[in-house]
Amino acid sequence: MHHFDLTHEPPTSQELVAALTNLKNRRGKLMIRSCISDGIHLLLLLLLYFGNILSGRSVLVLIALSVVVAIVLATATRDSLLFSDLIAIAVSIIAVVAASTLLLTISMSQSWGAGIVAGVIAGTIVTSGTILGRALKKVMFAIEQLNPIPTDDPILAEVSALCQRYPELRNYREQAKQNLRPHLTYGELFAMREWHLRHINRHSEQKT
C-alpha cells in the first residue's frame, strides 16, 4: 500500500501512476485467485451432488451460509487484526464447520460422513473468502486513496483549512503543485488528518 509521508517531497504524477498500476495488477491477481478458489469449491460440491452424497438443497444451503459468513468476516473486521480478532475469526470458522455439519445431518437428513465433508468444505470457503476478501478490500481502499480530489468536492475546504493551520502541510501542497499536481489525493488528505490528530494529542500531553 502507498504511504504518504508529509515530511518528504510529494510524489510526482508518474510515481502515483506507477503505484496505481501496481495496485491494479495486484487486484487482478487477487480476483484470479478468488475465482480459482471459488471454482475448486464449486467443483467439490458438484462432485458431492452428482455422486448422490449431498442433495441440491443441501449444496445451496451450504454455499449461502459459508458465503455470507465469509463476506461478513472480510468486510467487518479491522485492517490491523489484533490477537482477539484472530481468535474471533477462528471461532467463527469452527462454528461454520459445526453448524453446517449439524444442519445437514440433523435438519436435512444427510449422512454424517457427507455432513462432515460438507462442513469442512464450508470452513475452507470461509477461510479463503476471508483472506482474499480482506486483501482485496485493502487494495481497493488503497486505489481509492490514490485518486485525486476533484475541484467540486466539498472536502477541499478541509484540505485548505489544514494547510492554513500547519505551515508544513501548506509547503507540502505547494511542492505538489510544483510537481504539476494541482490536486492532492484522498490518501494525502487522510495523512493530513492523521498529522492533525497527532498534533492535537501531542498538545494535550504537553498540557497534562
pLDDT tens-digit readout, 114-149: 999 999 999 999 999 999 999 999 999 999 999 999
- CA torsion 197-199-204-205 (nearest 10°) is 110
DSSP assignment, residue 181? -
Residues 6+ apart with CB under 8 A from 18: none
Q: Give the model's pLDDT for residue 159.
A: 92
CB burial class (10 A; 0-12, 13-18, 19+) of residue 34? Answer: middle
Cβ atoms of 128 and 69 closer than 8 Å: no
Residue from 57, 45, 49, 26 nearest 135 by CA: 26
Q: How confident is the model at residue 81 (pLDDT cuts 50, 70, 90)?
A: confident
pLDDT exceeds cutoff 80 at 206: no
Q: Where are the alpha helices (DSSP H) in the chain?
A: 13-50, 56-76, 83-102, 112-145, 156-165, 167-178, 186-207
| pLDDT value of position 70 | 94
pLDDT above 70 covers a percentage of the chain that reads 97
Predicted confidence band of residue 91 (pLDDT cuts 50, 70, 90): very high
pLDDT value at residue 3 = 80
CB 179 within 8 A of CB 10: yes
Please give the Cα distance from 18 to 146 (Å, whole number).
Answer: 11
What nine digits make up the cell of 58?
Answer: 443441501
Asked if residue 205 has pLDDT above 70, the reply is no
Give 178's contacts (C-beta < 8 A, 6+ positions apart). Answer: none
- Which pLDDT belongs to residue 207? 63
Band of the pLDDT at 90, cuts 50, 70, 90?
very high
